[in-house]
């Protein structure tokens, strides 16, 4: 199972990305697509900040245990 992840990433090229973009444009339409992109970007930004918060909390706990 571990070997599948690097192989699948290698198959995503410019042609695949263009095909995905065309299919998304057909399904959602040109007016809805920017809204979906914006919502996806905001979601990723919130997720990233939440993960950084968790990592910072873990780092603080490690620092506290080292001081004791």
Question: Global pTM?
Answer: 0.51
pLDDT for position 42 = 95
Taking the domains of the chain in order of start, what are their residue ranges? 28-67
pLDDT at residue 68 greater than cutoff 70: no
Q: pLDDT tens for residues 1-56?
A: 455 555 555 677 888 889 988 998 899 888 898 898 899 999 999 999 888 888 87
pLDDT in the model for residue 6: 55
- Please say if the pLDDT value at position 64 is more than 70: no
- 27 to 16, 20, 51: CA distances (angstroms): 16, 11, 32
């Amino acid at each position: 199972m571990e070997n599948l992840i690097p192989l699948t990433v290698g198959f995503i090229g410019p042609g695949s990305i263009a095909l995905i973009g065309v299919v998304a444009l057909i399904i959602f339409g040109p007016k809805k697509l920017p809204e979906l992109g914006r919502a996806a970007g905001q979601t990723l930004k919130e997720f990233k900040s939440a993960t950084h918060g968790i990592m910072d909390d873990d780092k603080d706990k490690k620092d506290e245990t080292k001081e004791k």
